[in-house]
Chain A
Amino acid sequence: MTRQAAVESSSSWRLSDRLGLAFSWFLGLFFCVICAAVVIYLLVQGVRYLSPDLLWTNPKVGFTQNETGGFLAPLLGTLFVTSIAMALATPVGVGVAVWLSEYGRPRALARVVESTVEMFAGAPSIVLALFGLILFRASFLGFLTEKTGGVVYGKGFFPAGAMLSLLALPLVVTSVREGLQAVPNHVREASYALGKTRIATIRRVLLPAVRPDIITGSMIGAGHAIGDTAIIVFLLGDTYVLQGVGNVPVLGTLRGTGSTLTSYVFDNAPTGDLNQPNKAFAAALVLLVMVLVINVFVDIFGRKARELKWT
């Protein structure tokens, strides 16, 4: 039913419409310029100070910016804490989305769940961080972090990852829910009509159908979690290097403290404790590139996934 739009000139429009059009053009270009300014400035500054060895040396104590090492530990910290966050947020988010979309009864409970998810999406992360700080000092959660003489430290990769997962959760839920709503009802019925139960339908038809949405939702969520600072500063300990707890290789590191690129930028910014702007710009560039790569991936993947759908 698509009709070829007639080519028309806006010069025949009313003045107010022409002004509106001009304003829209202006705003669109304005935001492009702002975005380009941020990226180009960071790129120029970052490339100037970023050298490969920064990526594989740990931060050190030093007097000049040449002596303070690189940001290997914050880079690893970002990867670890984001992985933990996504390992928690993805399954929980998919579960919540499936329940909301496929069951959603009683209605009142569904509405409560919906607003809870929305609340997480809108909550300032520092509020979540503060709550996490109290929560993970509880002694029954002591096994997640360092515990000395009955006192729980409450800071480490697990608490930070857990609170970050709450930031990512709404994005996973929204994406998967939209995916499920895009599956036409006759596809579900086709599965029931072959003698399948509802749970088999979800497991074998719906989840495969929304796999692209699960992946894009997690990626967008990860992009969100990577950028958060408040939770990291409060809950990860913000230590120079990865300080493990105990002797178990991976688990020990994750129970311990560390920092991420965001907290590294925060500390090294001209307003921070360490005030090493060169390092801050270099780390900020790495962070920006990570997020941009994720966005590009989401874009390409999302477009590809939409190709194979029902009419």
Chain B
Amino acid sequence: MDLTLEPPPVRQLEAGATLTVRPGRGNASIHRLEGLAPETTFEHGGHHTVVPTLERMRVERLSIHYGQKQAVSSVSLPVRQGEVLGLIGPSGCGKTTLLRSLNRLTELTKSASISGRITLDGVDITGLEPTALRRRVTMVFQQPNPFPMSIFDNVAYVLREQARRKPRKPTLAPLVEEALSRAGLLEEVKDNLNHPALRLSGGQQQRLCIARALAANPEVLLLDEPCSALDPQSTKVIEDLIVKLREEVAVVIVTHNLQQAHRVADHVAFMYLGELVEYAPTRALFAAPREQRTKEYVGGAFG
């Protein structure tokens, strides 16, 4: 793979020019975007399309402790729509904890204590209902985990009231199909929407989980090592999907696989022992890491 660093082409973004903002939410973001300095985007890795970016979330001096143990220490990061943010680092470096704090899943762990600030469209997420936040910042897990129900109901689950079967199928059908097609699964399952989701192959299950996460029409999509349980073929399908999705949602992906980070991410954050060591555009981070620790970790990743 050619990794020589060329001067990155800089593109000017006209404010709001190609952004589609869904009605009813994030209007404040449009205004903030207009006042935003033009974004610099690097071409790199496998994809070369440049998508205008919009900051959705901001992590400010976030620290998380599990009891006495510090898992994340004073991390600050932006999460932008229009790009994929890759979190890399060795096991136990806090990248998954950081990811899970973005939708307040860390709070489910009794011993976790959190300081610092995370905002979603400028609003502190601790002020939001966790259930409301988690519909706007949805998540896909390492193991494919469709619910024990039909393919249709898996996607409809998030659209329905808490524990209710309403609204009924006819109302939801278009929304479910849209989510499935965004996840690139509709063609394969459209005739079997009533089949149990657990009958699908691993790769299909994971795309169903992505469809499920997209059905809520989130602003941010969190992916926790989404391909680590999949074969290379399914991995490729999902990576292509992630690259495509970044136009519509801000994507954050935790990955062990440096090649994968290189393929899908626009910015990469390297974490080590809870600290954010380096945050840089993907190509820059891999080709010319500034920090010694980054160099040691990514060095040798691309033989």
Instruction: Write the residues of chain A forming the contact surface with B, with a CB cutoff of 8 angstroms.
Output: 184, 186-187, 189-197, 199-200, 203-205, 208-209, 211, 308-311
Contacts and interface: CB of A to CB of B under 8 A. Distances in A.
B134 A193 contact: yes
20 contacts: A186-B141, A186-B145, A193-B138, A194-B134, A194-B135, A194-B138, A194-B213, A195-B130, A195-B133, A195-B138, A195-B216, A196-B163, A197-B162, A200-B162, A200-B163, A204-B149, A204-B157, A308-B199, A309-B198, A311-B143
B105 A193 contact: yes
Contacts of B134: 192-195
A197 B135 CA distance: 12
Chain B, interface SS category: mixed
B126 interface: no
A205 B160 CA distance: 13
B142 A186 contact: yes
B216 A194 contact: yes
Contacts of B148: 205, 208-209, 211, 308
A189 B142 CA distance: 12
Contacts of B142: 186
Interface string B47-86: 0000000000000000000000000000000000000000
Contacts of B163: 196-197, 199-200, 203-204
Given A186-B141, A189-B141, A308-B196, A195 B135 contact: yes
A205 B213 CA distance: 16
A199 B132 CA distance: 16
B209 interface: yes
Contacts of A205: 147-148
Nearest to A191: B147
Contacts of B138: 193-195
Given A195-B132, A199-B163, A204-B163, A190 B158 contact: no
Contacts of B108: 189, 192
Interface in B147-202: 147-149, 157-158, 162-163, 196, 198-199, 202
A213 to B, nearest CB: 12
B139 A308 contact: no
Contacts of A211: 148
Contacts, number: 84
B147 A193 contact: no
Given A194-B158, A208-B147, 19 more contacts: A186-B142, A186-B143, A187-B147, A189-B105, A190-B139, A192-B108, A192-B134, A193-B134, A195-B130, A196-B157, A197-B162, A199-B162, A204-B147, A204-B157, A308-B148, A308-B198, A310-B144, A310-B198, A311-B144
Contacts of A311: 143-144, 202, 229
B149 A190 contact: no
Contacts of B198: 308-310
B98 to A, nearest CB: 15
Contacts of A184: 143, 145
A118 B198 CA distance: 34
Which 9 residue pairs of A and B lie closest in terms of their CB atoms, listed nearest first?
A195-B135, A200-B163, A193-B139, A195-B134, A200-B162, A203-B163, A308-B198, A195-B131, A194-B158
Contact of B149 (A196, A199, A208): A208
Nearest to A209: B148
Nearest to A212: B148
Contacts of B147: 187, 190-191, 204-205, 208-209
A196 B147 CA distance: 13
Contacts of A196: 131, 157-158, 162-163
B267 interface: no
Contacts of B199: 308
A99 B17 CA distance: 53
Contact of B105 (A192, A200, A203): A192
A46 B64 CA distance: 71
B131 A310 contact: no
Interface in B81-110: 103, 105, 108
